[in-house]
Amino acid sequence: MDETRPSPPARFRAAIRAYDIHRSVEFYRDGLGLPVISQWDREDGAGFLLDAAGGVVELLGKPAHIRSRGGWDFIPPVAKIDLVLEVADVDAWHAALTARGLQPRSAPEDTPWGGRSFSILDPDETPVVFLTVKPEKKGT
């Protein structure tokens, strides 16, 4: 390893400031099936870490002393990021989520570059995209 470079990151983590932590954990754990790997409930807020295929979704609950919505958990009208979960069968995921009572934003659609995807909004309106990439398109 080059002496001037640090080691690469160990794991990717996406942190979401959830307005309603319990509703959000139900969505990710029960709705999407991501297992909880750690959780805490302290004076400075509650949180959950969920395993997302080698990465982590970190849900952060609002500290009890912050009562109003805004500031800490401001949600812009359009999310600047999408959480993307690459899955083997996007159509099976769409059917399973619909059967669980969740409401995907559309049916799975083919992409111009050879993928197939659909998305669903989490309780704080963060888009979660389910994506299947055809084997010949992997890495593009």
pLDDT at 99: 94
Average pLDDT over residues 102-125: 92
Domains of the chain: 10-64 (3.10.180.10), 76-140 (3.10.180.10)
For residue 28, name the pLDDT band (cuts at 50, 70, 90).
Answer: very high
Following CA atoms 107, 57, 132, 104 in sequence, which dihedral angle do they give, to the nearest 10 degrees?
0
Mean of the per-residue pLDDT values of the chain: 84
Q: Which of 1-5, 17-21, 59-63, 99-103 has the lowest mean pLDDT?
A: 1-5
Dist. CA 48–CA 68, nearest whole Å: 22
Contacts of 7 (CB under 8 A, 6+ apart): 1
